[in-house]
């Protein structure tokens, strides 16, 4: 009865701590912006249209921190733009990219296919696709409702921090080396193809050349930027990456499918830049910083909202989501990286939520040096190959695989995820299905750990059997004096029972299996092969199972049910049946809530593991039945022992 009360008190105390925590340390809320404030934020962090003689929009940007103290140059007289606006479409076997000569920016980047680990090709489609309605996998954002296109940064836009120069670079039409007039399509079936965008402005003396090279067999492209003003080189510029590079067909972001974020290697360290933190008006807006600030161990550091300068030399930087990204690697490390955000409202199933457009401004050289651009899947094999491509093309030594977010215990998960992928890939080649491959892999892993599970169950059963005697010894020791001659005898018996039935000895072998669960989740997110891999009624093993009847998911319910059965079958240190039942129900219900939107492949692994564990536990229970028949080491059992080892029960 006391154990039940303690368990209930523990649950109530845990709930009270959670409620009190949310009251004392509420989650970070981004500043609420009204329509006017939102427009001001856009004005501070995005290009703004200005009137010219031709009526075409141009753009200006907020100066970078290094140039904030400089006086802006006087605005020159408007220059008539006689260059026609054109669309240039680049078609390779891997992707299709569309560029607008106004600003020489990318307006579309569709990834078409990727090479599997076995060398074959697979077509790639958007997450919003269905079996009968495949949609192209677009990585570049369409401006949300309420935000004008001219208010946004665009991919490969050039920013110098000088409002006058940036107006020309964003608003003027570049000449392009495409062969025909009007809109053009350039096919790159093999080898490589180079196109050049140029612009000259008499009023500012600005000359810009943006030469880009596209390759048929790789996701890496090259950009060479040459920028002069009055025949004097512009010392540094920023190349725009974003906003929100990733699968534009994702309608709802979750813990398992995160929203676009910034990622960069700065001063040798991987930095991940969350859009909410960029939008905040203070540095370090996470929960830990709020706690440190609340107890006075850290002072509040304010910053301009929607801007996040990143100090230190940049090896490479970009924007990505769970499976895709765009990264720029300058020829040499350069300082001046910055991220910007724009808040907007997004409606999903009639519900409005606040989202953010995150854009990276990557410092690049302006002397014609090459900057390598990777735009494509965040598959660990493809990223490793792209890193080698960058090196072979004369770029810096980079590891683009660091773009993959392995999360908690990242080094361990990365170490295990690669061999797990190798094993599942080989099984998939034999079976032709990633779902079957996961099932076979699960059976193999649980069979490998069967001796540990058997040892764990033996320890747990002993702990459960010896629990009454241990409690009896504890009660007797409490009422004894240190001079009592029987104390030493009872303490020796207590030590012997603890050694034979240490519950930690039963838990530790089971903990060894947990890294494989984490690593499998990482494996699902670092391999493009899992994405949209079908199995039975499941259209995508890398995503959550679709709803049935608009509110039911079969896999999570089967998983929770199997976990309840397995919990009831598995021996527990506590002999209290009520406490065991509460734990057997409470833990699966909590896991059901956590894994409701988990990738289907992960749930298949855990569900099959529970089924295999059920069969293993059934075998273990039969194997250890003879041990269950032995009487527990109580006073009666102790009297039957040989005289040299006889332990008499202490009198109460």
The domain that holds 269 is classified in CATH as: 2.70.98.90
pLDDT digits (tens, 9 = 90+) for 174-183: 999 877 678 8
Please choose, from the candidates 597, 600, 596, the residue with its C-alpha nearest in 3D space to the C-alpha of residue 608: 600
Q: Are 305 and 356 in contact (CB under 8 A)?
A: no
376/432 same-domain check = no
| Other Cβ atoms closer than 10 A to 321 | 20
More confident residue, 82 or 493: 82
Q: What share of the chain is helix, strand, coil (3-state, %, to 5)?
A: 40, 20, 40
144/234 same-domain check = yes
Mean pLDDT, rounded, of the chain: 76
227/317 same-domain check = yes
More confident residue, 98 or 477: 98
475/546 same-domain check = yes
353/210 same-domain check = yes
Query: Is beta strand 87-91 parallel, antiparallel or unpaired with respect to 184-187?
Result: parallel
pLDDT digits (tens, 9 = 90+) for 450-495: 777 777 766 666 666 666 666 666 666 666 666 666 766 666 766 6
In residues, how long is the chain? 652
Residue 268 lies in a domain: yes
Query: Total structural domains in the chain?
Result: 2
380/432 same-domain check = no
Q: How confident is the model at residue 5 (pLDDT cuts 50, 70, 90)?
A: very low
pLDDT above 80 (res 499): no
pLDDT above 90 (res 138): yes
In the numeric block, which tokens belong to residue 598? 């988990």
Residue 48 lies in a domain: yes
Burial of 521 (0-12, 13-18, 19+ CB in 10 A): buried
pLDDT above 80 (res 69): no
490/557 same-domain check = yes
Residue 15 lies in a domain: no
The confidence score (pLDDT) of residue 21 equals 43
pLDDT above 70 (res 94): yes
**Euclidean distance between CA atoms 174 and 180, whole angstroms:** 15
The residue segments making up the domain with residue 546 are 415-628
Q: Which of these ranges, 203-212, 335-344, 455-464, 627-636, has the smallest mean pLDDT?
A: 627-636
Residue 8 lies in a domain: no
393/516 same-domain check = no
Residue 517 lies in a domain: yes
285/424 same-domain check = no
379/467 same-domain check = no
The confidence score (pLDDT) of residue 66 equals 37
Residue 641 lies in a domain: no
Beta bridge partners of 341: 358
**Euclidean distance between CA atoms 381 and 116, whole angstroms:** 9
The confidence score (pLDDT) of residue 242 equals 85
Q: Are 587 and 580 in contact (CB under 8 A)?
A: no
In the numeric block, which tokens belong to residue 99? 């560029």
Residue 297 lies in a domain: yes
**Euclidean distance between CA atoms 340 and 154, whole angstroms:** 12
**Euclidean distance between CA atoms 613 and 226, whole angstroms:** 63
Residue 10 lies in a domain: no
385/522 same-domain check = no
366/261 same-domain check = yes
């Amino acid at each position: 009865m006391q154990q039940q009360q303690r368990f209930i008190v523990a649950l109530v105390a845990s709930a009270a701590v959670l409620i009190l925590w949310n009251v004392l340390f509420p989650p970070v809320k981004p500043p609420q912006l009204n329509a006017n404030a939102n427009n001001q934020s856009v004005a501070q962090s995005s290009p703004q249209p200005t009137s010219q003689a031709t009526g075409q929009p141009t753009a200006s940007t907020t100066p970078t921190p290094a140039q904030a103290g400089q006086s802006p140059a006087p605005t020159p007289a408007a220059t008539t733009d006689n260059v026609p606006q054109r669309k240039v479409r680049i078609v390779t076997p891997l992707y299709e990219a569309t560029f607008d000569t106004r600003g020489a920016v990318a307006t579309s980047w569709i990834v078409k296919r990727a090479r599997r680990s076995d060398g074959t090709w697979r077509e790639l489609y958007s997450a919003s696709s269905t079996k009968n309605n495949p949609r192209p996998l677009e990585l570049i954002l369409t401006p949300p409702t309420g935000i004008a296109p001219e208010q946004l940064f665009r991919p490969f836009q050039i920013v110098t921090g000088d409002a006058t120069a940036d107006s020309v670079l964003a608003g003027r039409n570049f000449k392009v080396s495409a062969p025909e007039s009007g809109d053009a399509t350039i096919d790159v079936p093999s080898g490589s193809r180079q196109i050049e965008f140029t612009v000259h402005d008499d009023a500012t003396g600005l000359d810009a050349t943006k030469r880009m090279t596209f390759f048929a067999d790789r996701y890496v492209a090259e950009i060479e930027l040459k920028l002069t003003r009055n025949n004097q080189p512009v010392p540094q510029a920023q190349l725009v990456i974003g906003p929100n590079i990733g699968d534009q067909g994702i309608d709802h972001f979750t813990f398992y499918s995160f929203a676009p974020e910034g990622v960069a290697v700065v001063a040798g360290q991987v930095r991940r830049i969350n859009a909410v933190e960029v939008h905040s008006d203070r540095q370090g807006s996470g929960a830990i910083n709020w706690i440190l600030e609340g107890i006075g161990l850290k002072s509040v550091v304010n910053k301009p909202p929607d801007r996040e300068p990143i100090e230190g030399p940049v090896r490479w930087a970009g924007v990505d989501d769970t499976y895709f990204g765009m990264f720029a690697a300058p020829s040499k490390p350069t300082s001046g990286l910055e991220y910007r955000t724009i808040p907007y409202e997004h409606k999903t199933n009639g519900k409005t939520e606040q989202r953010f457009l995150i854009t990276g401004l990557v410092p690049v050289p302006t002397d014609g040096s090459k900057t390598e651009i990777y735009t494509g899947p965040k598959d660990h094999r493809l990223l490793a190959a792209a890193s080698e491509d960058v090196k072979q093309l004369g770029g810096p030594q980079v590891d683009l695989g660091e773009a993959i977010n392995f999360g908690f215990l990242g080094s361990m998960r990365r170490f295990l995820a690669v061999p797990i992928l190798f094993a599942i890939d080989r099984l998939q080649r034999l079976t032709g299905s990633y779902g079957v491959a996961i099932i076979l892999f699960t059976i193999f892993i649980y069979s490998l750990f069967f001796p540990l599970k058997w040892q764990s169950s033996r320890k747990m059963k002993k702990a459960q059997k010896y629990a009454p005697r241990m409690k009896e010894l504890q009660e007797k020791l409490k009422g004894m004096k240190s001079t009592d001659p029987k104390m030493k005898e009872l303490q020796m018996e207590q030590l012997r029972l603890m050694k034979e039935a240490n519950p930690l000895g039963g838990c530790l072998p089971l903990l060894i299996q947990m890294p494989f669960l984490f690593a499998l989740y990482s494996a699902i997110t670092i391999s493009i092969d899992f994405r949209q891999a079908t199995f039975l009624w499941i259209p995508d093993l890398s995503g959550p199972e679709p709803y049935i009847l608009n509110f039911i998911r079969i896999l999570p319910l089967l998983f929770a049910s199997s976990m309840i059965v397995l919990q009831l079958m598995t021996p527990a240190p506590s002999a209290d049946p009520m406490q065991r039942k509460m734990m057997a129900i409470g833990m699966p219900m909590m896991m059901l809530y956590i894994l409701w939107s988990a990738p289907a492949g992960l749930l298949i692994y855990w569900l099959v593991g529970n089924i295999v564990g059920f069969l293993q536990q059934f075998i273990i229970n039969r194997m250890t039945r003879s041990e269950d028949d032995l009487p527990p080491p109580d006073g009666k059992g102790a009297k039957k022992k040989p005289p040299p080892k006889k332990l008499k029960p202490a009198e109460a």
